[in-house]
Every structure is written in structure tokens, then in C-alpha cells.
């Protein structure tokens, strides 16, 4: 065979295709040959293990799955089941005919004894735990190891803020000579890596970079202040955890890719709980959305859903007018003057819901608001003593408009826990 330099590995020697532009040595030639395809398998229950898997036909044992096919060569014989002389468990043992049968796990520990025997205390906390790191003659449990990876110390030798060493906590790993682990491949920070050899800060920057690259240019331009603040947060690990578990980040992806419009109407249609409210507030704070009366908008959404529970008719129109022109107008006026709280929308919504409940009860009993009388209102309040305060504004509003007869919701009765007054002529000695 003529000699040449292999075009793949660069080894000089006998070669195939030596007179061509791509000679190959014998090893590279064998690797370049196409392999024979695997025989067609069948999805069935393996006769040996019973699992429903993809099985192939073998020479002597018929159809077997991949696991059972390999076990034919690794376990050509079954170990005798006996009681292990070391651990005391009944398992397949070696040296079964001797006076000291031993299982495979105990035999492995005898041939390869651990560097630190079980039960050795941690060099940092002193507790007898499972050791996760070994440096020289020192050993550290997993909890102390993770804590040390996230900590920093001003080194007594170099004076820089670096990770403390296991042998001397006052000095860094570089000065002591220990191997520096968990170093970010992008910025070189000595921090616990998060993903693909990057620290949490660089991992967050990589996620946001991919989001900007895959997103809609116009949407990314509007969200840029928010994304910048997201990447510059004080706790990047918490931000990454929020991205992985919170449904609010799904809304951010929809806004960035253009699947959802960056507007109040589009966000109001998202049904993902309070995460949408927090995201909306963050977008307003960073200028992605213009500010709006949030309590008034929240009340408007809830009141619209509550009024829709009533059947179409005159009572529904009256409740809608009360919600829009009385309650919502008053709430908007108070919000313009800065006299609202985070619960103002819920408190105002109780007034509308009380009116809806009264109209629903009247419709069930064949009544309307115009035919409602005092005895009907008393009967409705009998099962709802706490609703008198919430229904009173609607009754006053409807009475001023001449929609209903004069009705009095009364006042909530005093609690039954009030102490009885002491009668005259009696003396209470219990407090003396």
C-alpha cells in the first residue's frame, strides 16, 4: 500500500486513496465506511423483563429489548442469593461457597475504600453529614460548600474580595493554592454558576439577549427600558427563577414577540392572576405604558362582569347606570385627588354586587325594583345582615331618581358579644 499523509488525522503511513487529494489511513478509512443499519424492531412486551419497549430479534433468546440484550453479556450467570457477611442484606453474593459471602457493593468498597470513611464530620460546620467536596485532608458537606460558593471575603494576602478557601477562611482560594471552581466564563466572576458556565448576571443577560434577537423590533423598542431594568436588578438569581416559574414572563414573551399588543386592552384580556397586575405596574413605571387611573379601570372590569349576571331588562339598565354614573364617577374623582388605596376598587365593587344580588333575588321571587317594598327588603336582609351597609347607597340613588319606593335598609344590629350592664343594687366583685 503506498504511503501518504492522511487528510483527516495527519498521520503519515500506508494510506488508502494515496494518489488522490484526500488520502485516508486505515483507521480513518474504517470510520468512513457506512455502518450497516439496525434490524427493524417491534414495540412489544419484552419476554424477559416484561416492559413494553422496542425489541429486536436475537439469535438464541428471541425478541429482547436493548437492556435485556446487554444483560446477556454482563451477567452470563446469576449470582447465588445469600446473606452478605458485611452488610447483612440478602442479595446476590460473591464467594457464596466460602465462609464469608459478600455482595457486589460491599466487595467494591473493599477493593476501592473511600478516601474519607462514612461518619466523618464536616471541616466547616463539624456536623456528620454526607461530604460533597474534598480538598487535601479536609472535607466539606454540600450545604457548607454551596454557602461558601456564594460568599466573599477580603483576602488577608492580596486584599481582593474573593471566595474564601476551605483551609483558611481568611484567605482566598488563589492565595492558598486551592483550585478555583465555579468561575463565570464570560465575566470571570468567582460566583456559583447558573447555566452553561455563566454566573446569574451573565445568564440573565444571555436570556434577555436572545429575547431581543427573537422579538419584534417595534415591540422591543418599547420594552427596552423595562428589559434594561430587568437585567440590572439587584438579584439576578431571583429574576431567573421568576422567568422559569412565573406566568408573568409568558406575558412578557408575548409582548416582546408581537403576539400580544402592548396596550391596556390587551393586558386586561390576560387571565393570569396578580402577575399581570404587577407586570402592568412595572411597564408603567418604566414608561412602556402611559399611566392611567388603575383603581377606576379595575373597578370598571369587575363591575362590567357583575352587571352581566343580571338578565337583560330594566333592572339591569338601572344597576349599570348606578355603577357607571354614581360609583365609578365617585371613585375616579377620588383617584384624581389621590385619595384612593389599593382596596378602593374592591370596596366600591361591593356596592355594585349588593345591588346585583338584590335584583337577582327580586327576579327569583317575581319582583322588580319598581315593585319592591319594605317587607321584601327586610326579607332579603334577614339572610344578609352585613349587606345593609352596601345596599344603602343604591337605595338612596334609586330613590332620588324616583325608581323605587322609599326603603330603609336599617342599621346593622349590635354584636351579641356585648356584656350585659350591671343591675342597680348589685355589686360585681369579680374584678376585685
pLDDT, one tens digit per residue, over 329-353 is 999 999 888 888 888 888 999 999 9
Q: Residue 319: name the closest of 347, 345, 356 by CA.
A: 356
Our measurement of the distance from residue 114's CA atom to the centroid of its chain's CA atoms, rounded to an integer in Å, reads 38
Radius of gyration over every alpha carbon of the chain, rounded to an integer in angstroms: 39
Query: What is the pLDDT at residue 269?
Result: 85
Distance between CA atoms of residues 106 and 317, nearest Å: 82
Alpha-carbon distances, residue 9 vs 4, 15, 22, 32 (angstroms):
12, 12, 11, 12
Local structure of 98: helix, strand or coil: coil
Beta-carbon contacts of 122 under 8 Å, excluding residues fewer than 6 positions away, are: 128, 129, 131, 139, 140, 141, 144
- Residue 213 is predicted with a pLDDT of 92
Residues of the chain under the 50 pLDDT cut: 412-432
| Sequence-separated contacts (24+) of 80-89 with Cβ below 8 Å | 86/110
Domain boundaries, the chain: 3-30, 42-74, 81-111, 200-285, 295-400
pLDDT computed for residue 211 by the predictor: 92
**How many angstroms separate the Cα of 15 from the Cα of each of 7, 10, 26, 51, 387?**
10, 11, 6, 48, 96
**Using an 8 Å Cβ cutoff, are 163 and 157 in contact?**
no
Report the pLDDT value the prediction gives residue 77, as an integer from 0 to 100.
63
Give me the pLDDT at residue 228, please: 93
- Residue 425 has a pLDDT of 44
| Closest to 116 (Cα-Cα) out of 143, 139, 146 | 139
| Structure-block grid coordinates of residue 120 | 466523618
Give the DSSP per-residue string, 26-74. Answer: HHHHHHHSPPPPPPPPEEEE-TTT--EEEEEE-SSS-EEEHHHHHHHHH
Encode pLDDT of 81-109 as tens digits. Answer: 899 999 899 988 988 889 999 998 898 88
Q: Which residues contact 413 (CB under 8 A, 6 or more apart)?
A: 385
Amino acid at each position: 500500500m503506498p504511503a501518504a499523509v492522511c487528510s483527516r488525522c495527519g498521520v503519515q503511513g500506508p494510506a488508502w486513496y494515496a494518489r488522490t487529494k484526500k488520502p485516508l489511513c486505515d483507521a480513518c478509512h474504517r470510520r468512513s465506511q457506512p455502518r450497516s443499519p439496525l434490524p427493524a424492531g417491534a414495540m412489544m412486551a419484552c419476554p424477559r423483563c416484561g416492559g413494553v419497549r422496542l425489541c429486536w430479534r436475537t439469535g438464541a433468546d428471541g425478541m429482547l429489548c436493548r437492556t435485556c440484550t446487554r444483560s446477556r453479556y454482563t451477567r452470563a450467570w446469576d449470582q447465588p442469593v445469600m446473606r452478605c457477611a458485611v452488610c447483612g442484606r440478602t442479595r446476590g453474593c460473591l464467594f457464596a461457597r466460602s465462609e464469608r459471602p459478600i455482595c457486589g457493593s460491599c466487595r467494591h468498597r473493599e477493593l476501592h475504600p473511600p478516601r474519607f470513611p462514612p461518619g466523618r464530620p464536616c471541616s466547616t460546620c463539624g456536623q456528620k453529614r454526607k461530604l460533597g467536596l474534598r480538598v487535601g485532608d479536609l472535607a466539606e458537606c454540600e450545604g457548607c460548600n454551596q454557602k461558601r460558593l456564594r460568599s466573599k471575603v477580603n483576602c488577608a494576602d492580596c486584599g481582593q474580595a474573593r471566595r474564601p478557601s476551605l483551609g483558611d477562611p481568611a484567605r482566598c482560594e488563589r492565595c492558598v493554592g486551592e483550585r478555583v471552581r465555579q468561575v463565570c466564563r464570560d465575566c470571570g466572576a468567582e460566583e456559583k454558576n447558573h447555566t452553561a458556565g455563566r454566573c446569574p448576571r451573565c445568564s440573565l443577560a444571555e436570556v434577555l439577549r436572545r429575547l431581543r434577537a427573537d422579538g419584534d423590533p417595534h415591540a422591543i423598542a418599547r420594552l427596552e427600558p423595562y428589559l434594561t431594568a430587568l437585567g440590572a436588578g439587584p438579584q439576578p438569581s431571583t429574576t431567573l427563577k421568576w422567568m422559569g416559574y412565573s406566568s408573568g414572563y409568558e406575558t412578557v414573551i408575548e409582548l416582546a414577540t408581537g403576539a400580544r399588543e402592548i396596550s391596556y386592552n390587551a393586558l386586561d384580556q390576560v387571565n393570569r392572576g396578580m402577575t399581570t397586575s404587577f407586570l402592568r405596574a412595572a411597564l408603567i413605571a418604566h414608561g412602556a405604558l402611559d399611566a392611567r387611573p388603575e383603581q377606576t379601570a379595575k373597578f370598571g372590569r369587575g363591575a362590567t362582569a357583575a352587571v352581566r349576571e343580571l338578565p337583560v331588562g330594566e333592572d339591569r339598565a338601572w344597576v349599570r347606570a348606578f355603577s357607571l354614573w354614581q360609583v365609578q364617577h365617585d371613585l375616579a374623582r377620588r383617584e384624581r385627588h389621590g385619595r384612593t388605596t389599593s382596596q378602593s376598587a374592591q370596596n366600591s365593587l361591593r356596592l355594585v354586587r349588593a345591588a346585583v344580588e338584590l335584583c337577582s333575588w327580586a327576579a327569583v321571587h317575581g319582583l322588580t325594583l319598581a315593585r319592591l317594598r319594605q317587607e321584601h327588603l327586610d326579607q332579603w336582609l334577614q339572610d344578609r345582615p352585613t349587606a345593609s351597609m352596601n345596599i344603602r347607597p343604591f337605595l338612596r340613588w334609586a330613590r332620588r331618581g324616583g325608581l323605587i319606593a322609599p326603603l330603609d335598609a336599617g342599621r346593622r344590629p349590635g354584636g351579641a358579644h356585648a356584656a350585659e350592664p350591671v343591675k342597680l343594687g348589685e355589686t360585681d366583685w369579680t374584678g376585685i
